[in-house]
Amino acid sequence: MAQAQWWQRGIFYQVYPRSFQDTNDDGIGDLDGIRARLDYLVELGIDAVWISPIFPSPMADFGYDVADYCGIDPMFGDLDAFDRLIEAAHARRLKIVLDFVPNHTSDQHPWFLESRASRENPRRDWYIWRDPAADGGPPNNWMSNFGGPAWTLDPASGQYYYHAFLTQQPDLNWRNPAVRAAMHDVLRFWMARGVDGFRVDVIWHLMKDADFRDNPPNPEYEPGDPDIRRFIQSRSTDQPDVHAIIAELRGVIDEYDDRVLIGEIYLPIDRLVAYYGENLEGAHLPFNFQLIHASWNAPHLAALIAEYDGAVPEGGWPNWVLGNHDQPRIASRIGARRARVAAMLLLTLRGTPTMYYGDEIGMENVPIATEDAQDPWEKNEPGLGLGRDPERTPMQWDASPYAGFTNGRPWLPLAADFTTRNVAVQLEQPASLLGLYRELIALRRPHPVLHAGTYRKITALGDVLVFLRESAEECVLVALNLAGTVQDDIPLPPDTHGRVLASTERDREERVEGHLSLRPYEGVIVALDATA
């Protein structure tokens, strides 16, 4: 792809800093730990490190309750440690992307302490305050994403404040120009320190219905579902005027050269792609989570790939994600063997892939005992399986005590299999998942068609998905078997001839001459002769 930006041709890797590498033996990862593992990331082949929140916080929601947007929480280090990380990353040609949490602050943020001090405080309107309903209850029926009403009464002032998440996470009022100006300055602060971009948390939440009308009931809600499913969030999220707010954020990003704006958005495809903005003045990459919620059969995958690929606006750039800190790990969702096929799919689709730490070694959800639970969502709505601790457990580096993550007691339990499933072991295993990830990532560089070529479905029958990636220079065929049975006589285009570039089993180099068979849970990439 001519003149591709780094965020178009590169691969992003999410680090959950509490769980990546601890260097001071307190059982919690830190910035120096990330810096110590940069060479691993370079050898893996990734291009950008996205770091979940590291700002000062009471940690009610593990950093997503920010008390100071321009500092570093002491558990992770300090600004000097951050500067060292930036310098070390840039020396290795790695980019650093920060999590930006603009929808809400901590209730301990100085802005909110002022806001709740009195109705007359100059910062009162920096947050969303409303009078009680006629019966004295919450102003409307909006629910918190973490359970219960999204409104908390402040007895001193007699008004409710809105929080889309925890009570300790009051939402900012983005209709207030002073709020927007302050948050724009936060972006500038970090970009001046060398940050290469931001992943914006819950970007579709930033604007709310101006009249605070009730959300409509969700006809699909069933007893036992989380509270947030009681109503359709059509008034509390995804408002039309959010796009002007995002265009302003993008304008600040564009004040600096070569930066990227990524938006976290859990919406259907037709609404997701609106976040590219009018004339592409919105997010560079509205996160596409379709694979996280997909049914892993060929017809469903083919349909969602085609729908998304066709919906990305002209000039917009697609992206794909298999997992993150809020979702069960891919190996647990679809099985360890099928996760290898998922890796090949992720790294052969048009656009920018984002990986989640540990997925490259097949880390799975770790069962968390009730007494060990840390996640506030699990504590607020226990027993519904909503806790996110299982996918946030420490990175498994080696077979030493605590998996090489720490010399202290880890903040979350380790997987029972860490002595056999870890980086050190897989580096010595030619057929390992880590080896496969490294091979697939390396393959993208000499074959830019894999990130920039057009997509064309060939076959999507039952458990077999076959598609082409095409450009003027080359054509590559990708064939994936999602089942645990052999697939013979896979339909291929007439006169398909080529050379196997990669297999999920890492043991095939033969030529394909009009016929292809796949072993259970096997995927292959074939460079076709016409353009190979």
Number of CB atoms found within 10 A of residue 125's CB:
15
Residues above pLDDT 70, as percent of the chain:
99
Active site residue 378: no
Q: Cα-flanking dihedrals φ and ψ of residue 129, to 5°?
A: -115, 140
* Residue 170: both structure tokens together: 């009051």
So what's the pLDDT on residue 495?
Answer: 83
- From the candidates 264, 359, 360, 375, give the one annotated as an active-site residue: 264
In this predicted structure, the answer to whether residue 2 has a pLDDT above a threshold of 60 is no
Question: Is the per-residue pLDDT at 486 higher than 50?
Answer: yes
| Residue-wise pLDDT tens digits, 196-205 | 999 999 999 9
Spatial neighbors of 14 by CB under 8 A, at least 6 apart, are: 50, 51, 52, 324, 325, 354, 355, 356, 357
CATH homologous superfamily of 6-105+176-442 equals Glycosidases (3.20.20.80)
Cα-based angle 402, 353, 249 (whole degrees, multiple of 5): 100
Measured CA to CA, the distance from residue 339 to residue 522 in angstroms comes to 10
Catalytic residue among 201, 360, 389, 474: 201
Rounded CA separation 109/163 (Å): 14
Q: What are phi and psi of 379, to 5 degrees?
A: -70, -35
- DSSP-assigned states of every residue in 3-72: T--HHHHS-EEEE-GGGT--SSSSSS--HHHHHHTHHHHHHHT--EEEE---S----TTTTSS-S-TTS-
Average pLDDT, the chain: 96
Nearest Cα to 412, choosing from 380, 366, 376, 359?
Answer: 366
Torsion sign (Cα): 218, 377, 346, 238: positive
First to last CA, the chain: 17
Q: Which two tokens stand for residue 20?
A: 């990546």
User: Helices 242-253 & 177-192, crossing angle to 10 degrees?
Assistant: 30
Give pLDDT, residue 515: 87
43 is catalytic: no
Taking the domain 454-528, which CATH number applies?
A: 2.60.40.1180
Alpha carbon distance 165, 380 (integer Å): 11
Residue 531 has pLDDT above 60, yes or no: no
Domain layout of the chain by residue ranges: 6-105+176-442, 454-528
Provide the CA 234 distance to its chain's centre, in angstroms: 23
Which pLDDT score is estimated for 518? Answer: 97
The pLDDT of residue 532: 40
Its pTM stands at 0.97
Give percent helix, percent strand, percent coil of the chain, each to the nearest 5.
Answer: 30, 15, 55
Query: Tokens for 401?
Result: 């005590």
Q: Is the predicted pLDDT of residue 210 greater than 60, yes or no?
A: yes
CA torsion angle 69 75 79 83 (round to 10): -120
For residues 176-198, average pLDDT:
98
Q: How confident is the model at residue 1 (pLDDT cuts 50, 70, 90)?
A: very low
Evaluate whether 476 touches 502 at the Cβ level (below 8 Å): no
